[in-house]
Amino acid sequence: MIHFLDEKKTGLVLALALGALLTACSNMETSGTSEEAEGIIAISDKKIVGVSQKGPFVKGSEVTLRETSKDGSFEPTGREFTTKTVSDKGDFKFDNIDLESQYALLSVEGHYEREYTGEASSCPMRLDAVSDLEKRETVNINLLTHFEYKRVLNLVKEGKSFAEAKKQAAKEVLGAFGVKIDISSAEDLNIYNSTDGDRTLYNISRIIDEQPEWNAWRDWYNAVDDLDCSKLQEYIDGYANDFADDGVLADSIMQFLAGEGYSSAKEWSNMMDVDEDDIKRKDEANPDDLSIRFLKSEYDFGILVFLNYMDLELCTADLWGEYRKFDKAIDIDGNHLESGYFLCNGYYWDLQTKGYIDSLKIPVDHKTGTMTDPRDGHKYKTVSFEYEGKKYEWMAEELKYESDGLYTWTEAMQIDNKYMTDVVDDSLIGETHQGVCPEGWHVSSTEDWRALVDYVGDVKNLLNENWRTSDIDAAFGKDLIGVYYNKFDFNLMPVDTVYLEVYYHSYKQGSYRISVPDEDEAAYYQLLLEIIDDEEEREEIESYLTPTPIGDYYVEVSPYDYRVEEEPLKEAYVRCVKN
């Protein structure tokens, strides 16, 4: 269970995380009652306060309370009370209200501040609510009260009690977004409070505010005078109208919200394991930045809406490599899809084509074989292929001659150990260099590696199912997310199981030289030495000033790249290539 704290941003306290994903229940304290009286009761000298929120309605927005008939029909009698919001927080109050029925219809109309940015809306909006005022002194008006408004009235007409209608409508509205929590009344919710219901209201308000159908009412290329504000109200009313008859949101509406949820969940999947301690720690370390609570909230709610609409389970490490076909409309990043496939990469469902999914297991053309090292009788798997008119045969395992597989660079090259620090003479390294490899074979050069990666098309095609990290920060920080199968029988294994890297000694004839900083670089490093006291930092800077031998010494392989590095390693593997 995630616990919530309040955060301050642009002068408002942001309550930004969704507290329960699929099955949590919220025991909410309300200012009203969970069991409304079912008989008609006149209201006398009543004071009502509340807040009006999409984001908060700005000061001066008009709030109206309409009396309904004492016959219980919920028809307006024509008597209305009006007031205005008294601040940019959307708060309002009615004093000395007399009504012939406890059931009242409320509405607010005006501009609002967007809950995420604090920016004022360009167009006004109207939101509605229906409430039993008998035992209630607080009534909030928000998107959920607006969405349930017509549904509640229809359920009452069908014979439900008002309390039953409110409870059912609230459950249906929340359920449409995948949220399974109990709330007594939508007019108890406040986007800046901290219950699960409040968090849900905030997230629904935010995700709807980001929809292209909403934004379409504004022509970004023309002046403000050209705005058609009626489209904004039509969009919001569309939800209420769609809920009214059956309490279900049509796919034509949900497909956009689910697409937004998919994009949010994919973008912020690194938030999946963030807990309260993580939030506190990172917020304390970066007090001037926007709290990561917002990102966590965006992920939680986005994944909830997406999974619920698409009827998918959460993508986890256990589902890595599995895919699901869908035949349900969804709009993702402006693209309307009627069907397609989602591939689980261990962190999120990734939209992919069936062709791409099938290609993950299509082998890269090659032949497999074996070779035996005559020096110790060790048998090695091999792969062979032809590229640019040249035949290659590689060991498909790490060389382990008189070793567990790890060598220093000079051991791999079978040259004097002084060349770990001295510049290598060109006469010592040929175009093919046997080194520690068997007779007729040579240590794989950087040119061999280039030809290999070019042939398979991408370094990812050399990987297999072992190339997965359980470290979420590493996965997202270094883009280590992917699905790999053994397409080339090359049997690479990451030596660094967090950052998914493996290192191979290599070489290139004529690449070895001394690196000396130029005049400007030397002056810069000398200046740093004058102002830095930390010994470790000073040692690193001094190393830049020291003439250093460089050249092609080893190849680093990872899911996102392979690259040649210019300093010798004390530990790395060797792959041999047949001459």
- Quick one: pLDDT at residue 558? 92
- Quick one: pLDDT at residue 172? 94
- Residue pLDDT, tens place only, 344-354: 999 999 999 99
- Cα–Cα distance, 451 to 455 (Å, whole number): 6
pLDDT: which is higher, 120 or 158:
158
* Other Cβ atoms within 10 Å of 411 Cβ, number: 20
- Quick one: pLDDT at residue 347? 92
Pair 569, 442: CB distance under 8 Å: no
What integer is the mean pLDDT of 310-324? 95
pLDDT: which is higher, 23 or 321:
321
Residue closest to 219 by CA, chosen among 208, 232, 209, 228: 228
For residue 35, pLDDT over 90 is answered with: no
For residue 13, pLDDT over 70 is answered with: no
- Quick one: pLDDT at residue 358? 96
For residue 20, pLDDT over 50 is answered with: no
Percent of the chain with pLDDT over 70: 90
C-alpha dihedral, 152 to 182 to 236 to 194, nearest 10°:
140
Q: What is the pTM of this model?
A: 0.76
Between the alpha carbon of residue 440 and those of residues 59, 312, 432, the distances in Å are 85, 55, 10
Q: What is the largest CA-CA distance in the chain?
A: 105
- Give the distance from CA 396 to its chain's centroid: 37
Residue 403 — φ and ψ, nearest 5°? Answer: -165, 160
For residue 560, pLDDT over 90 is answered with: no
For residue 15, pLDDT over 50 is answered with: no
Kindly provide the residue ranges of all beta strands, DSSP E only, lying in 265-366, ordered along the sequence.
323-326, 330-332, 335-337, 340-344, 349-352
Residue spans of the domains in the chain: they are: 7-249, 263-359, 367-512+551-578, 515-545
- Written as one letter, the residue type at 194 is S
- Residue pLDDT, tens place only, 256-289: 889 989 998 888 888 888 888 888 888 888 887 7
- Residue pLDDT, tens place only, 395-429: 999 999 999 999 999 999 999 999 998 999 989 99
Burial 359-391 (b: 16+ CB within 10 A, else e): ebeeebebeeeebebeeeeeebebbebeeeeee
- Cα–Cα distance, 372 to 378 (Å, whole number): 6
Helical H segments across 21-161, by residue range: 143-157
- Quick one: pLDDT at residue 226? 56
Q: pLDDT-derived band of residue 518, with 50, 70 and 90 as boundaries?
A: confident
- Cα–Cα distance, 250 to 233 (Å, whole number): 18
pLDDT: which is higher, 1 or 58:
58
Pair 440, 571: CB distance under 8 Å: no
- Quick one: pLDDT at residue 32? 36
For residue 224, pLDDT over 60 is answered with: no
- Quick one: pLDDT at residue 79? 97
Q: pLDDT-derived band of residue 303, with 50, 70 and 90 as boundaries?
A: very high
- Quick one: pLDDT at residue 29? 35
- Cα–Cα distance, 37 to 34 (Å, whole number): 10
Using only C-alpha atoms, what is the Rg of the chain?
33
- Cα–Cα distance, 78 to 67 (Å, whole number): 7
- Cα–Cα distance, 249 to 241 (Å, whole number): 9
For residue 514, pLDDT over 80 is answered with: yes
Terminal CA-CA length for the chain: 61
What's 403's DSSP letter?
S
Q: pLDDT-derived band of residue 211, with 50, 70 and 90 as boundaries?
A: low
For residue 477, pLDDT over 90 is answered with: no
- Quick one: pLDDT at residue 31? 36
Pair 366, 355: CB distance under 8 Å: no
For residue 438, pLDDT over 70 is answered with: yes
Quote the mean pLDDT of the chain: 87
Residue closest to 434 by CA, chosen among 446, 443, 425: 443
- Cα–Cα distance, 471 to 463 (Å, whole number): 18
